[in-house]
Amino acid sequence: MHNENIEQHFNNRNVTEINSDYFMVDIADYPTDGWGKFTRTLRRALRGELFVGLWVVLREMIRFDIHTIQYPLEKMPIGPRYRAVHEMKRLWESDAERCIGCGLCEKICISNCIRIDTRLDEESRKEVTEYSINLGRCIFCGYCAEVCPELAITHGGEYENASDQREHFIMYQDMLTPFDTMKAGTQVEFEGFGAITPHEDERVKKTPLAY
């Protein structure tokens, strides 16, 4: 089905309209008398529907079009907007950490699983000293990534976070993009909510400095 058809399909949901795509399926009434039941039995017995079923499964067996994904060895590609374990990004220009220690993520976290501790360093810049997410409590709602003004904390694609303890913490250093990834220029930006959309450059307006 084409896109415009889908749109029309979703908007035109009035079943009673004559021009509607919806129609009632033609289902015959159940037989009530003995003769009707008998002919229905004969029809069902002789029409060979059982063999249609047999043929369908045999055809699939001969085709051998296996859909199994052998999970630990093979993995499904997941969407770029998938909300799995968090990542901390670095700046492309300086490889410095993007996190400015504003603490918004800690404030908005509805399951109280983020803990952030900051201090002012020698140059009076805020520095993150402690940052941890309790993945046992995190519900992966994505508010922290949404609220982050610097696109510093985002969600990643790592979903295999099974742990043998209930409180499975993830520390700042584990989430932070490693330096060699930055050196290779392979840091992957999160394309999900709050991220920069692909055509952002065209939509940027010059800041009016005249006034």
DSSP letter for each residue of 43-73: HHHHTTHHHHHHHHHHHHHHHT------TTT
Residue number with CB closer to another protein (45 or 141): 45
Question: Of the candidates 61, 96, 110, 204, which one interacts with another protein according to CB under 8 A?
Answer: 61
Binding segment (CB under 8 A) for another protein, from list 47-55, 83-91, 134-142, 146-154 = 47-55
Binding segment (CB under 8 A) for another protein, from list 9-17, 63-71, 118-126, 185-193 = 63-71
Q: Which neighbouring-strand residues pair with 155?
A: 86
Does 70 interact with another protein (rule: CB under 8 A)? yes
φ, ψ of residue 119 to 5 degrees: the values are -150, 165
Count of residues touching another protein (by CB under 8 A): 15
C-alpha 133/C-alpha 99 separation (Å) is: 15
Judge contact between 143 and 115, C-beta under 8 A. Answer: no
Question: Of the candidates 36, 53, 79, 80, which one interacts with another protein according to CB under 8 A?
Answer: 53
Interaction residues for another protein, span 161-200 (CB under 8 A): none
Does 42 interact with another protein (rule: CB under 8 A)? no
E runs forming strands in the chain: 86-88, 114-120, 126-134, 153-155, 169-171
Between the alpha carbon of residue 155 and those of residues 161, 189, 192, 195, 202, the distances in Å are 13, 10, 8, 11, 26
**Contact flags string 93-132 toward another protein, x per CB under 8 A:** ----------------------------------------
Q: What is the smallest separation between the CB atom of 36 and another protein, expressed in angstroms?
A: 16
How deeply is 27 buried, as exposed, middle or buried, from its count of CB atoms within 10 A (0-12, 13-18, 19+)? exposed
Q: What is the smallest separation between the CB atom of 60 and another protein, expressed in angstroms?
A: 6
Which residues lie near another protein (CB under 8 A)? 41, 50, 53-54, 56-58, 60-61, 64-68, 70
